[in-house]
Structure 1
């Protein structure tokens, strides 16, 4: 499955400014946010701000980098195929 990132700004109410919409085949499947220094030991990691459909998660995970996040999203999307 091919994922495409689109940079956006999301009003999270914190210092988190770097965000990406994650699209799969033209559908929005997730929003990823890079955590700011406000998050101390998790600063610089990526957070699943929102997941849709098979990417929705009751305890949104954090990832060390975008590649890890995209791999996880890809696995979630392929789960039910």
Structure 2
């Protein structure tokens, strides 16, 4: 999926949890300087929403963060 971010970032991934879209990750291009090559939380929905969207060194790191976020906020809501 390509997301119209207004930059040259062309690779992105939709992240689903139990059939629901929870995040959109975008692979940052060289236009982003030292963050080039990292993955950015372009949008988080529900429990993955974050006021200061992070970047991640890899998709695995992003997946770990999203999984933790879904588990943490679900258990803290109880």
Place the TM-score, normalised by the shorter chain, in its bin.
over 0.9
Where do 4+ consecutive residues of structure 1 move more than 6 Å? none
Q: Which position in structure 2 is the counterpart of 1:72?
A: 65
TM-score computed with the length of structure 1 as normaliser: 0.89
Unaligned runs of 5+ in 1: 1-7
Unaligned runs of 5+ in 2: none
Separation in 2, partners of 1:56, 1:23: 14
TM-score computed with the length of structure 2 as normaliser: 0.93
Separation in 2, partners of 1:11, 1:53: 21
Which residues in structure 2 correspond to 1:29-68 (within 5 Å)?
29-68=22-61
Q: CA deviation at 1:11?
A: 0.5
Relative to its length, the structure with more strand (as a share) is 1
**Larger-gyration structure (1/2):** 2
